[in-house]
Structure 1
């Protein structure tokens, strides 16, 4: 606040204490205000929140704050009403010195989202500094012989204010000898000069005292004064003179010592000793100038004596006296104005302020990452700075205000591709040659959960033998997540489903961390041949991402089931069956047939039959078919054969180790013509069973042929369609080769082929597993033997479902043709 001085009226003082009107200027994205210096605490500056378009209720949640580089807390914002006010005393002269322009630059920062605004508050000067003289009194010696209009320079006053407030006028106290003349220093101020208007008489006035008053142009005015003592000397008639009263010299900064600044040359009209002159700095020259420059008292050369820095001071005012050696000596005066020219001797300065590091990889384009300010102490083109950024991708520099830049995101980020960027901000000035400076900024990219765990394969095939121990490890799944830290921490779990009547989790489990899959109970091939399920992998990100993998667990058969005899071999005391055989039958007559099945599959279910020799008995006239189980005669029966024979039949599978079952057949030999009623009834029952068997066979064969015909027709249509299409090169890829394992009795195969259908995207197909037993040649008796085997296998199919059907078609390569032949014979009977 301005203080009234020199008796100014109170009303005028009140008017001068009012603040200037706050001005808003649109453009360049900044606010402009103005305020007078010395304003009171709480003085209104501007409605900054309203002018920035911010809601008052958002100031606190969005962390509204104001930063001012090197300006302390001169200005503050009331977060309740959004008004910018004066917080502490503002002294323009302390802030900006004698600079014509003075402003306070504020950075306004709000978060959520991050925004940065620039506010410039101009500090208006008030007339709060009076003109000041460097000394309290000035002394001048003037010979009485000086002529009229002789000039005597005085030291002028200085005012810390600027503009009109610093425009000084001088006034000399009333006297009869001197008047005051003002000399302009070419836009560098004015200084007063005494002009002699009446000759001096030492005997009459040996000493004069004058008062020099300086008044500035402010309102109210301030004044300063200095006493001027004039000592009138007797002697010398002519004083030395310079050809000019003011010399103006321009020189570049950073000149070497002893560099010539100017060579002064004065003249004296006297002769002899009164003409000899000595050059010296005036008593008005301050000590700092005496250190910077050196004058040769004999020649008048002024040379550089110390480091000259434009940024320290750009103009020097040197008052020079030349004194002759007369008695009394006479003095001449001149002023040398040395203007220092700028050189590009200061490199730019770069200051980087990080705001949002690290940067999340899903940050939007345009996000402000850092604030950058540059400065250069030089002036003109030497102080004009241009900023550049390397590398340019994916960031860029945006100029916000003068030498202020924002580092913003220019394109999308991907931490999995590049996790950090080392940026270099280079500031280069416009000098010649130009100087530059750089600052490095390491921008880390923070991970977000944008990658799901990935398995190496979409599905896995696992083979496990049945009867495994509970809790055994059968497989390990592993998924990789390209993210980092918790976003890459993968846990595994089962995708629960029902397997028949039971939950999947009762069969298998997966370890959440290691991905190891365990069988929780012994698996039974006869109950479950294929267990197909999915394992899910989930990361720990928010939200979590996941993927699934399919596991096909094939339960491999082990020989854990002994052969089981079919009726009637399971009935009777001791598991025996009685048969009556006539002694007249020839060799090869079928007496009976032992039927047995094995719950196992493949090699373990292939049965063979043996007739065990009785202890102590002669060679039996009977034999049993190795693979048919038919009991037949080996020769003609004779009287020597025992009428009652007990045949012990051993049924054995081909597992390792082999499992067996036994049954006893009691064969009674009877004479020709003897046909017991029981035998007749058995024969009749057998005939009825054979008729029923034939009827069942007919229906089964018809069904099998119909299904086979439909399958053949489908394959033909599919082949025709595939051949009619022209597949694009590279559109279909062959599947993986089929894995085939062979043994002495047959072969089984499994192939997991992935074929991409050329006409579209079909799911992958998995071939079935088939077992093909290898029958030794000569084990049957022509087509009739094969027919008999096929009929038996048809009964086996009725008892065992789909497994029996696979077994029938895989039992003999010619099964399909033979079935068609039998079908033709059976149909011809009708």
Structure 2
């Protein structure tokens, strides 16, 4: 609808309201305007932005644009005021021909967010075409003998306009011989005939000149004229006559050549040669009709000559003359109207006008991906097109306006599962059989950061030997991200925490890109047996996502600590303090015990004791326990033994290479009758030996009590171990990782435990050398109260070191008194 600048605001608002109501009734987002053809440049068509509910200020930022499948330069929108105006000359006849409906379909597209509106601009016809005749003059031959009321067909005019502008009326200039008769056929075409009013006289007038005028119904009226030249012929009694003046024939388009259209049959009442009839196309028949059809002059058969196409032309009018063979021939006239019937011979056509790709995998449902238009040149059901998609794709087609569709998202996308789709759109018409066409749309799915970096395991166990070089590579963490490009670029970092009084970053570091974990300083098993920390993996997406993995770094022991002597023996080693020993003691008497400890663990802390032979090679009456360090007599002492005995004890661990320490023990042998002065400690030893017999009876009762307590303790320990084993998870096999276990090595009282590998004892696979030790006795059992604390190592889960120490001492005292 075109609004005049002189219209009042009230009338314009009323018209806009009616227009919006009409648009709402036909479909959301659809407007309808109208404009006359031949409108001048700049002619106002409508306030398209206002009618669509768009703000003028957002037209440019949202990329407001108008697209048209037809001539895109006919209409234009001023993005400053949102007015749709005529941009170039609009010729309705050039745009739509003689179609009753003519419109320009516009697609209005705005982005951010994407919206698509459909606007139909109707092009109204104006009376800008004159009625036109195909020839400048028409010639008719009429015998003077023709009777009044005889009729002679003439050709009418055509008008390219439609409706009232193409409604023609005819008149002929006044004369005394001819009138004009106009009839309308079933196909609403005009049939013009000259009607003879009175008998012609060739001798009086041989030729008549008439002016035929065609006037259309437009305002103002336009006219067209043609000259009618009528030649009056002499002679004739009867002219050939057809059964009907008009013959209607329906013919399928694409009918092959030589197909019979109709067989005409005219009759003549004359005799002889005057009765013989020949058939011709009238001179009113246009050349393009004669290229499609031909007539057999003898039989009157009209057949197909050229290719017939319903989409090019739907109706043909053929004027036929039947002429006898007399010297003064007479002619009969009829018209054959051939109406073509459409067949489904045109495949649907598709055009993808806009693509909004790639589409993000988190795009909301209903997001428009492409705009598709379809068309079919056929008519009726043959031209009705429906569209469908490839099955099992997350998209659907939405009909937006007539033969326009939007390809929209119908279900959620996941680029990691399917990075793209090949969507095939099939357009199928309603013909029988149906014809179809396909178009392919490649839909690429763009990645969003919806996957966090993931490690193959939640926790890794790493074993590192102590005294490693600074910067040593100990492990490499690796995380994978299912996303792409920046969203999959992973960097690593430590999760900082305190390890004792120091920061974690002073011990280890991780390379941000490679994930290589390095020890920044030498690790000391005696200081730190287990270092547990987390490494974080983070991608480069927006927003960034991350994951963590736990590393348990067990520091393996190295034999870097020599045995250290404990107790008085340490002083003995340094100064060689002498001890007194009665010569009356028998074989197997425990003289003293060398105590030593090793700061290492496992085999590196397992100590053995050896008595070094004297330089003279004499056999010593003493021996030392291999694992206990107890020095005892091998025989009864006699007068031949030197009064001063110097014993050198070598303490050695089981590391590779082994480390040693030596202890020197000086013994002074005294007879039982002597009473030498001695240090208080030596005197205590002598007094203790003297009282040994008197305490024998007391020890019997004490041994019974301690054995009872020991038995109760052993039963309690066995019950506790049984309960812990029964409560263990079924998934923890006998050989799998488990909690620390108490192990007693032998009857000599040497106990040891290592946490380095945390493996339980299993029958099918022996533990590594540095993991677990079980010793067998090599000497008779002796007092174990002097076992060194380091060799007697008990690590019980959940107990403090102080509790360990008290418990160890309790067991030592029990074993000592039980002997």
What range is the shorter-chain TM-score in?
A: 0.7 to 0.9
Contact preservation (8 Å) 1:532, 1:553: yes
Which residue of structure 2 lines up, in the alignment, with residue 435 of structure 1?
435
CA–CA separation in structure 2 for the residues paired with 1:686 and 1:168: 156
Q: TM-score normalized by structure 1?
A: 0.84
CA–CA separation in structure 1 for the residues paired with 2:712 and 2:471: 46
Which residue of structure 2 lines up, in the alignment, with residue 375 of structure 1?
375
CA–CA separation in structure 2 for the residues paired with 1:159 and 1:226: 14
For the structure 1 residues 218 and 820, does the alpha-carbon distance in structure 2 shift closer, same or farther, using more than 3 Å as the test?
Answer: farther
CA–CA separation in structure 2 for the residues paired with 1:673 and 1:609: 34
Contact preservation (8 Å) 1:780, 1:786: no
Q: What does the per-residue CA deviation read over 1:78-102, in whole Å, with 9 as the maximum and x for residues that have no partner?
A: 1122221111111110110000110
Which residue of structure 1 lines up, in the alignment, with residue 553 of structure 2?
553
Contact preservation (8 Å) 1:580, 1:679: no
CA–CA separation in structure 1 for the residues paired with 2:370 and 2:193: 58
Contact preservation (8 Å) 1:207, 1:231: yes
Q: CA deviation at 1:617?
A: 5.1
Which residue of structure 1 lines up, in the alignment, with residue 466 of structure 2?
466
Which residue of structure 2 lines up, in the alignment, with residue 9 of structure 1?
none
Query: Over aligned residues, Cα RMSD in angstroms?
Result: 3.7
Q: CA deviation at 1:379?
A: 0.6
Which residue of structure 2 lines up, in the alignment, with residue 349 of structure 1?
349
Which residue of structure 2 lines up, in the alignment, with residue 312 of structure 1?
312
Aligned with residue 734 of structure 1, among 731, 734, 740: 731
CA–CA separation in structure 2 for the residues paired with 1:354 and 1:207: 67
Q: May I ask how many residue pairs the two structures share in their alignment?
A: 763
SS in 2 for 1:417: coil
Contact preservation (8 Å) 2:472, 2:518: yes
Give 1:472-621 correspondences, 5 Å limit: 472-571=472-571, 574-616=574-616, 618-621=618-621
Gaps of 5+ in 2: 3-11, 689-709, 761-768
Q: CA deviation at 1:748?
A: 5.2
Which residue of structure 2 lines up, in the alignment, with residue 165 of structure 1?
165
For the structure 1 residues 87 and 283, does the alpha-carbon distance in structure 2 shift closer, same or farther, using more than 3 Å as the test?
Answer: same
CA–CA separation in structure 1 for the residues paired with 2:450 and 2:591: 77
Contact preservation (8 Å) 1:151, 1:196: yes
SS in 2 for 1:180: strand
Q: CA deviation at 1:182?
A: 0.6
Q: CA deviation at 1:711?
A: 9.3
Q: CA deviation at 1:796?
A: 11
Q: CA deviation at 1:269?
A: 3.0
SS in 2 for 1:604: helix
Q: What does the per-residue CA deviation read over 1:652-701, in whole Å, with 9 as the maximum and x for residues that have no partner?
A: 1111221101122222334446555551366469999xxxxxxxxxxxxx
Give 1:445-460 correspondences, 5 Å limit: 445-460=445-460
For the structure 1 residues 793 and 297, does the alpha-carbon distance in structure 2 shift closer, same or farther, using more than 3 Å as the test?
Answer: closer
Contact preservation (8 Å) 2:603, 2:773: yes
Which residue of structure 2 lines up, in the alignment, with residue 414 of structure 1?
414
Contact preservation (8 Å) 1:56, 1:80: yes
SS in 1 for 2:164: helix
CA–CA separation in structure 2 for the residues paired with 1:802 and 1:687: 39
CA–CA separation in structure 2 for the residues paired with 1:212 and 1:456: 97
425-434 vs 20-29, which moves further: 20-29
Q: What does the per-residue CA deviation read over 1:18-58, in whole Å, with 9 as the maximum and x for residues that have no partner?
A: 9x977442222221111111112222212222222222222
Q: What does the per-residue CA deviation read over 1:141-191, in whole Å, with 9 as the maximum and x for residues that have no partner?
A: 222222111112221111110000000111111211111111212233213
Give 1:56-67 correspondences, 5 Å limit: 56-67=56-67
Give 1:364-403 correspondences, 5 Å limit: 364-403=364-403
Q: What does the per-residue CA deviation read over 1:511-561, in whole Å, with 9 as the maximum and x for residues that have no partner?
A: 333333222322211111001111222223222222111111111112111
Q: CA deviation at 1:138?
A: 1.5
Q: CA deviation at 1:486?
A: 3.0
For the structure 1 residues 777 and 710, does the alpha-carbon distance in structure 2 shift closer, same or farther, using more than 3 Å as the test?
Answer: closer
CA–CA separation in structure 2 for the residues paired with 1:459 and 1:578: 58
CA–CA separation in structure 1 for the residues paired with 2:163 and 2:637: 151
Q: What does the per-residue CA deviation read over 1:343-387, in whole Å, with 9 as the maximum and x for residues that have no partner?
A: 111122223345222222111111112222221111111111122
Which residue of structure 1 lines up, in the alignment, with residue 251 of structure 2?
251
Q: What does the per-residue CA deviation read over 1:617-672, in whole Å, with 9 as the maximum and x for residues that have no partner?
A: 52223322222223333333333332333222211111122110112222233444
For the structure 1 residues 285 and 511, does the alpha-carbon distance in structure 2 shift closer, same or farther, using more than 3 Å as the test?
Answer: same
SS in 1 for 2:640: coil
For the structure 1 residues 441 and 772, does the alpha-carbon distance in structure 2 shift closer, same or farther, using more than 3 Å as the test?
Answer: closer
Gaps of 5+ in 1: 3-17, 689-703, 724-731, 754-768
CA–CA separation in structure 2 for the residues paired with 1:340 and 1:291: 16
CA–CA separation in structure 2 for the residues paired with 1:712 and 1:398: 77
SS in 2 for 1:592: strand
